[in-house]
Chain A
């Protein structure tokens, strides 16, 4: 059965974007490297806007430096400002690494960042912590080229390309989780540890973007993937990389091609089957059984799926967000008896539709309607026709949920209208369990508030 959707209107403009820009994603990835200060090469506003956007979600300090280009630099090139900015960041922050991301401004004027960085290093007089020059990483992230998801992965790829080289083989593994929550990263660390694996998670912003209360404002928050570990990624036994889109596999492919590290590319481990795939891959790498606590977690998830199946059976959901996340969520929804009636993303990466079909095959009764490269105006138009029972995605879908009078179950990024977004779990049996409970409860709450009886027992 195919839903009777209005013919797609091809808008030229964007209204209420379902994406952010590349340097934002790069900034998040750079926050996940030990002692790294993200540095945007562009005008001052980019850094400030992105800081505000990120702080509203993470409720943590997010210091992002800027080369603060003015009119003169836009004409004559931003090299001198970039160099001066590097001196200031290195001296004041005592940064161990600086993650330089370009913006639309500097990409358009054609600043050659690698060349400027090389000039800087050749003439450098500044010294970072321990008298050493920090690692200067540069990622090309022209805002006009793609979304924050691509920017995130471009930065991860840049980190790997520039800091990881072929080294002596060791027994550790690389884990490239993609753009997930700090809580997810912490969970993956525990999972890897449970298998007795020494895993290098890149990036790891679980502490920098979700830090415990301390005695001061840490200008360089602790945590992040240690630079020493990144340097050894080229010698790992294998890379486990999450994400379906080609760009999310770039860093893993690079490690395979340049350093011969075997690549296991999985989708985001969301829901039962994708989590199974992750646990099986880890078990194979660790050459041991899945630890009983995770087997139990899986069992409890299944038990809950049985207990709750009737609340969800036949329900319809609109899902939106980054492409990899949406594919993972659709896979999960299909398992729990929910028809993802619309899967939307601002991203246009290849394979979106095919992967959605693949992960939902055999479980859903209707074709999943995939919409890459759309905005919330279009999502709203389609949602009005599709009449979903709930929305699954980040805060920016709230106005649609409000208009339709259905719940919005908040996942992903950004969570700007609720508390605790960085502490949401999405991955593994644990993430599936939490999302399952939240979805069932959202529907129960809806039922309760719509009833004029006021049942206190459902």
Chain B
């Protein structure tokens, strides 16, 4: 293992269960030549804002950034679907020389009347940051001409990592917050931050909350609407999932509007139940608490018999996870525990010092914690820990498959709901389907050692 880790990255690893005090280095620029699994600032902004379905998302730059992000995620909308288009100024050679402001202006002038969005987000990309287009000025003028907010998102790819992109997205959204009418918002009301409605997940959560008598003002951003974001400051509480991506917005709202926030996770039965209890407790509403308990027992009762059967097969298997934000890893570790499985590797692209410290504290001894890994390191960790199933995104899938290891896609491209109690069951089914497949009995890495054993 050690020879596979880049010298410069040694302090981005930690193994739990030794005497060494916890220490990990993170939030650094990726190492050149290391094939990081990370993307860029633009990616961070794009993933956060993308699901706002009635906004125009215009990517200002050469075509690539738009091509690679066209309708790739499973963020559903119950109404308009403008977010599924991929708009770009498609800058060319002359724009590099003469600047892209004129083209951006013309693009906005043709797209806004054509699609009638409620707001427009204009994403800057690497090249725009270099040629010095004054996006702020172009957007301001377009706002005046078209009468909708046209908001620049400062997401030049090279200006940091994905976290910087989250921040830019939060700043862009914060320009909308506070501009809408808050009349009629009931006292028991929340905004859902950091849920992207993959495969309709936010609808599952909203239904639980509605059963508790809690209204949702704004989805930020799954199945999101501009008008809702504008009046989000009228909600009594911000529930922040996926804290890496939207915590900044929660902080800004607390500072400016005094809206309190609470970290939650809807992944896994434990954390889902806890989220509902926390909300009820926040509002100090006995009836809401009563209903939360009812929901939990009813929903658990529905999935428990099947979970128990799946657990029988999965007991003792070993899992590895490599996710975007570290917070998701906490819930996954608990979910695997519920299935009788053990997590032996947990890593993320953009975790913070606090995230990793908390992660290390809930992991069993001998678990590898890693920040901003690459295929070489992940491969060696998977082999060293003799993993049965790897949880990650599309880029991690071939690593697992080539090693003869099961895989579960837990990224934004999935089309399977993994939140809520029903999501816990879906997750268990998914893990079961991959771990129990007979294919691993035939893949070379699994069969060859066995043949050797027979020969011995």
Residues of A within 8 A of B (CB): 11-17, 19-21, 23-24, 39, 42-53, 55-56, 59-71, 73-74, 81-82, 84-89, 92-93, 103-105, 107-109, 142-145, 147, 211, 213-219, 346, 377, 396, 399
Write out the residue numbers on chain A whose beta carbons fall within 8 Å of the beta carbon of B448.
215
State A214–B397 Cα separation when bound (angstroms). 15
Minimum CB distance partner of A70 in chain B: B29
Asked if residues B66 and A105 are in contact (CB atoms below 8 Å), the reply is: no
State A414–B30 Cα separation when bound (angstroms). 28
Candidates B6, B62, B107; contact of A143 at CB < 8 Å? B62
- 10 A-B pairs (CB sep. < 8 Å): A17-B86, A20-B68, A45-B38, A48-B40, A53-B68, A63-B35, A68-B36, A70-B29, A143-B62, A215-B444
Asked if residues A55 and B395 are in contact (CB atoms below 8 Å), the reply is: yes
Residue B445 is within 8 A (CB to CB) of chain A in the complex: yes
Task: Report B453 CB to chain A, min CB distance, Å.
Answer: 15
Asked if residues B87 and A14 are in contact (CB atoms below 8 Å), the reply is: yes
Write out the residue numbers on chain B whose beta carbons fall within 8 Å of the beta carbon of A211.
402
State A211–B29 Cα separation when bound (angstroms). 32
Write out the residue numbers on chain B whose beta carbons fall within 8 Å of the beta carbon of A48.
36-40, 43, 395
Task: Report B153 CB to chain A, min CB distance, Å.
Answer: 14
Task: Report B168 CB to chain A, min CB distance, Å.
Answer: 13
Asked if residues A43 and B126 are in contact (CB atoms below 8 Å), the reply is: yes
Write out the residue numbers on chain A whose beta carbons fall within 8 Å of the beta carbon of B341.
none
Task: Report B249 CB to chain A, min CB distance, Å.
Answer: 22
Interface string of B344-383 (1 = CB under 8 A from A): 0000000000000000000000000000000110010001
Asked if residues A17 and B126 are in contact (CB atoms below 8 Å), the reply is: no
On whether A88 and B398 interact (CB within 8 A), knowing A144-B95, A219-B379, the answer reads no
Candidates B93, B111, B443; contact of A13 at CB < 8 Å? B111
On whether A103 and B126 interact (CB within 8 A), knowing A13-B111, A52-B395, the answer reads yes
Residue B185 is within 8 A (CB to CB) of chain A in the complex: no
Question: Of residues B29, B130, B158, which shows the largest number of chain A Cβ atoms within 10 Å of its Cβ?
Answer: B158
Asked if residues A44 and B70 are in contact (CB atoms below 8 Å), the reply is: no
Asked if residues A92 and B157 are in contact (CB atoms below 8 Å), the reply is: no
Write out the residue numbers on chain B whose beta carbons fall within 8 Å of the beta carbon of A24.
64
Q: Which 7 A-B pairs have the closest CB atoms?
A: A45-B40, A85-B33, A88-B33, A21-B64, A85-B32, A13-B107, A14-B90
Asked if residues B6 and A16 are in contact (CB atoms below 8 Å), the reply is: no
Residues of B within 8 A of A (CB): 4, 6, 29-43, 58, 61-71, 85-93, 95-96, 103, 106-107, 110-111, 125-127, 129-131, 157-161, 375-376, 379, 383, 393-395, 397-399, 401-404, 443-445, 448
State A44–B448 Cα separation when bound (angstroms). 37
Report how many A-B pairs have Cβ atoms within 8 Å. 236
Asked if residues A214 and B402 are in contact (CB atoms below 8 Å), the reply is: yes
Task: Report B377 CB to chain A, min CB distance, Å.
Answer: 10
Task: Report A79 CB to chain B, min CB distance, Å.
Answer: 11
Task: Report A61 CB to chain B, min CB distance, Å.
Answer: 4
State A175–B444 Cα separation when bound (angstroms). 33
Write out the residue numbers on chain B whose beta carbons fall within 8 Å of the beta carbon of A108.
96, 126-127, 130-131
State A73–B32 Cα separation when bound (angstroms). 12
Task: Report B401 CB to chain A, min CB distance, Å.
Answer: 8
Told that A12-B103, A104-B64, A144-B93 touch, could you supply 11 new A-B pairs with CB distance under 8 A?
A20-B63, A44-B157, A45-B42, A70-B159, A74-B130, A86-B33, A104-B62, A104-B127, A108-B126, A215-B445, A217-B399
Write out the residue numbers on chain A whose beta carbons fall within 8 Å of the beta carbon of B34.
65, 68, 85, 88, 92
State A74–B401 Cα separation when bound (angstroms). 37
Write out the residue numbers on chain A whose beta carbons fall within 8 Å of the beta carbon of B70.
16-17, 396
Write out the residue numbers on chain A whose beta carbons fall within 8 Å of the beta carbon of B93.
142, 144-145
Asked if residues B375 and A42 are in contact (CB atoms below 8 Å), the reply is: no
Question: Of residues B35, B42, B127, B401, which shows the largest number of chain A Cβ atoms within 10 Å of its Cβ?
Answer: B35
On whether A49 and B43 interact (CB within 8 A), knowing A23-B64, A24-B64, A217-B375, the answer reads yes
State A56–B111 Cα separation when bound (angstroms). 30
Write out the residue numbers on chain B whose beta carbons fall within 8 Å of the beta carbon of A73.
158
Task: Report A62 CB to chain B, min CB distance, Å.
Answer: 8
Minimum CB distance partner of B402 in chain A: A217
Asked if residues B68 and A42 are in contact (CB atoms below 8 Å), the reply is: no
Asked if residues B89 and A218 are in contact (CB atoms below 8 Å), the reply is: no
State A213–B447 Cα separation when bound (angstroms). 12
Task: Report A372 CB to chain B, min CB distance, Å.
Answer: 14
Minimum CB distance partner of A93 in chain B: B376
Write out the residue numbers on chain B whose beta carbons fall within 8 Å of the beta carbon of A13.
58, 87-90, 106-107, 110-111
Asked if residues B444 and A144 are in contact (CB atoms below 8 Å), the reply is: no
Task: Report B56 CB to chain A, min CB distance, Å.
Answer: 10
Task: Report B329 CB to chain A, min CB distance, Å.
Answer: 20
Write out the residue numbers on chain A whose beta carbons fall within 8 Å of the beta carbon of B64.
20-21, 23-24, 46, 49-50, 104, 143
Asked if residues B85 and A15 are in contact (CB atoms below 8 Å), the reply is: yes
Minimum CB distance partner of B34 in chain A: A88
On whether A17 and B63 interact (CB within 8 A), knowing A71-B158, A86-B33, the answer reads yes
State A378–B276 Cα separation when bound (angstroms). 47
Asked if residues A219 and B29 are in contact (CB atoms below 8 Å), the reply is: no
Asked if residues B63 and A46 are in contact (CB atoms below 8 Å), the reply is: no
Task: Report A329 CB to chain B, min CB distance, Å.
Answer: 21
Write out the residue numbers on chain B whose beta carbons fall within 8 Å of the beta carbon of A89.
33
Minimum CB distance partner of A83 in chain B: B32
Question: Of residues A68, A85, A86, A396, which shows the largest number of chain B Cβ atoms within 10 Å of its Cβ?
Answer: A68
On whether A12 and B375 interact (CB within 8 A), knowing A44-B30, A92-B4, the answer reads no
State A73–B156 Cα separation when bound (angstroms). 13
On whether A59 and B85 interact (CB within 8 A), knowing A39-B33, A70-B158, the answer reads no
State A14–B61 Cα separation when bound (angstroms). 11
Task: Report A85 CB to chain B, min CB distance, Å.
Answer: 3
State A108–B131 Cα separation when bound (angstroms). 8
Asked if residues A218 and B402 are in contact (CB atoms below 8 Å), the reply is: yes
State A84–B126 Cα separation when bound (angstroms). 21
Write out the residue numbers on chain B whose beta carbons fall within 8 Å of the beta carbon of A81.
32
On whether A82 and B130 interact (CB within 8 A), knowing A46-B157, A53-B68, A215-B445, the answer reads no
